[in-house]
A and B are shown apart, each in its own frame.
Chain A
Amino acid sequence: MIPLLVAIPLAAAFALSLLEALKARRSVLRLLFLAGILGPWPLFAVYAAHMPWSEVAGGWARISGIEVGLDEVNVLLVLAELIVFTAVGLHALRYFHPTRGLLPAYKAEGVGAPGQAPRTPGGVYSLILLAHAGALGALISRDLFNFYVYLELASVAGFILVASSREKGTKEAAYEFLMMWVTASFVFLFAIAIIYAHTGYLNLALIEEHLEVERGVEIALWVAIVSLLVKGGVFPLHFWAPAVTAKSYPPIAALIPAVLAMLPMYRLALLSTYFGEVFDADPLLVIGFASLLAGLALAFRERDVLRLLAFCTVAQMGVVVIGVAAGNVPDALGHLFAHSLVKGGLVLAAGALIVRAGSRRFDAISYRGSPALAAAVLALSLSLGPVQPLVGSVGVFGIADALSGPLRLLFLAGNVGVLVLYLRLNHQLLTKADGERADTRLSILLFVYAAAAVGVGLYLTGGQFGLLTPGLALLAAVAYGMMHLLGATRLPAERPEKVRDPGVAVNVFAGVYLAVLVLLLLHTL
C-alpha cells in the first residue's frame, strides 16, 4: 500500500483544517501536524526494506491504472524528502508558536516590514502537510499525468506558504513564482498530451515500450524538458527562485530549493532514461554548464545569505543537468539527493541566524556565539562540494568521471568554485565578533541534522577518501586566499532593495522562457 505514504499527510492536513475550524486545542493541532509529518517514516522503512516495491493503485492492470513504486532510483530522494520535511516540521513548530514562537521577533532588513507570525498557524501546518503529500506523490508516481497532479498539489501549497510571509515584496515574489510555475505546468501538460497522442500511454514504462522516434515525440520531449528546467530553477530560467527563497519564512524557504526544485529535476532525469532513443544531450550539457558557472557568479555578488543559497541552488541544479546530459543518471540523482539534504539544512541554519540578528545580510550575522550551529553549517557547507567522504562527493566525482577532456576540468573547476563560495560564507560568519546566540533548540536540532548528513555521506561513500579531495580543497583554499588578498571577497556595495513590478517581471520571464524553448526546438530541426 505505497499510496499510504501520501494518504497520511493528506488526511492529517484535512483533519487539521477541520479541527482548527472547530476551535480544537492548539496542542491537538500540533500533535496532528507531527503525526502527518512523521507518519510516513515507518511505512517508508517497511517499503525500503522490501525494494523494489511497485503496485498499481486500486489493483488495476498497469495499462489502465496508476503505478507507484519505490526502488533504487527514487528511494534516496524519498529519504531526503522525509528528512527535510521532518526538520521543517520541527522548525515550524518552533517558529509559528503564537506566544513562544520566534517569528514575532523577526524583523527582515532591507525592505523593512516586520515579519510577524501568521494569524492562524494551523493553516500553515495544513499547507506544509499538503506540500509533504504532493512531494511524496510526485516522487513515487511512475505516471506522467499523476506526477503533474502531485507536483501541482505541492506547488499550490508552496505558493500560499510563500505568500503567507508578511515582509514587503512577498506577494509580488509569490505571484511571479506562481505565474512561472503554472505557465511551465500547462506547457508541460501540453507536452504530455502530445506524448499520449503518439504513444497512447502515460505510464513511463509503457511509453518506453511503445516509443518510436518521431518528430512529434522529440518536440514534446523538449517542451517538457524546458518546463522542468523552469521549475528546477536552472539558469537562465531561474528568475523566480532568489526572491522566493529570501522572502519566505525560514522553514518555508528551506522547502523551495530542497524539495520543490528537486521534484522536476528528478522527473527530468527519468525522462532522459525512458526517452533515451529521442533524447539529445548536447543542448542540456550547455545549459548545465551555464547554470553551474552563472549560478556561482551570481552567488558571489550577494550580500543576502538566503539569496546566496538560492543562487547556489542554481549552480547545483546545473551539476545535476550536467550529470543527466553526460548519461550518468544514478550519480545525477545522487547529487540531487545530496543537494536536497544539504541545502535544506543550510537554509534552516541561515534562518536560525537571521531570526536572531533581524537581518539577512552577511555582515550582520555570525555563528560565533553558537558552536553547535557553527559545526553544523561547516559540515553541511563542505558536504555540497567534492569533499570525500561527505555526501556531495558521490555525485560530483561520479559525474566528473562521465565527462572527459576540457569538460571534466571545467566541471571540477566549477566545483572548486562551490568550495570557494562556502569558504567565504564560513569566513564571513566566523569573523564578525559580536554574533548573537542562535536559538538553542534549533542549534541542537541542526547539529543532529548535520551529523545525520555526514553519517549518510560516510555510508554512501564507504568512508572512501581519494587523493583528489585534498588537491581540490587546497586549490580552493589557495584561490580563496588570492581572492582575499586582491579584495575580491569583499561584499559588494549595498543597494537599496526595490520591489519590482510583478507584471513586467512576468513579461520578461515569459520572454526568456519562450526564447529558450524556441532555440531548443530550432536545434531539433
Chain B
Amino acid sequence: MTESLTGGYLTPQTAAIGLLLIGLYGLVTQRNLVKQVICINILSFAVVLYFIGVGYVPGGFAPILPVGETLAPETIVDPLPATLMLTGLVVDVAVTAVALALVIRIAGGHR
C-alpha cells in the first residue's frame, strides 16, 4: 500500500537523505542551542537509517542460522551495518551528553 502511494521511491535511504537535510536545515536556521543539539541527533538518526537501509533485504532473514540449515546469501540481511550503528549510537549519546552539559553551562553563565 505504502509502496503504491510513493511509487517505490520511499526507501530507507531516501528517507535518510531527507532526515539529513532536515538536520542541516535546522543547524542553519535554529538559534536555540537545545534545538541545535536535537538537529545533531537528527543527523545521527539519518546516518543510522541509511546504514540499516544498506544492509536490509526485503523479506530476508536474520543472519542467525540453526545448525544444519543453509540460506541463499542474497536472502540474508547484512548484519555489519547494524553492528556499526550500535557503535555510532554510543558516540551520539556521548556527544549529546557533552553538548547538553555545555549548553547548561552557557545558559547558567559559567557557574
Binding site for B on A (CB under 8 A): 145, 149, 152, 156, 159-160, 163, 166, 168, 171-172, 174-175, 178-179, 182-183, 185-187, 189-190, 193-194, 196-197, 501-504, 506-507, 510-511, 514
Contact = CB atoms under 8 A, between A and B. Distances in A.
Given A160-B98, A193-B50, A503-B36, A510 B105 contact: no
A500 to B, nearest CB: 12
A121 to B, nearest CB: 19
B4 interface: no
Interface of B: 13, 16, 20, 23-24, 27-33, 36, 40, 43-44, 46-47, 50-51, 54, 81, 84, 87-88, 91, 94-95, 98-99, 102-103, 105-106, 110
Contacts of A194: 50
A175 B103 contact: yes
30 contacts: A145-B87, A149-B87, A149-B91, A152-B94, A160-B98, A163-B98, A168-B110, A171-B102, A171-B110, A175-B33, A175-B102, A178-B95, A178-B102, A179-B36, A179-B40, A179-B99, A183-B24, A183-B40, A186-B23, A186-B44, A187-B43, A190-B16, A193-B47, A196-B54, A502-B106, A507-B27, A507-B29, A510-B27, A511-B28, A514-B24
Contacts of B27: 179, 183, 506-507, 510
A120 to B, nearest CB: 15
User: What DSSP secondary structure best describes chain A's contact surface?
Assistant: helix
A172 B106 contact: yes
Contacts of A503: 30-33, 36
Contacts of B36: 179, 503, 506
B106 A152 contact: no
Contacts of B88: 189
Contacts of B29: 507
B94 A156 contact: yes
Given A179-B40, A507-B28, 11 more contacts: A152-B91, A171-B102, A175-B99, A179-B36, A179-B99, A186-B47, A189-B47, A190-B16, A503-B32, A506-B27, A511-B28
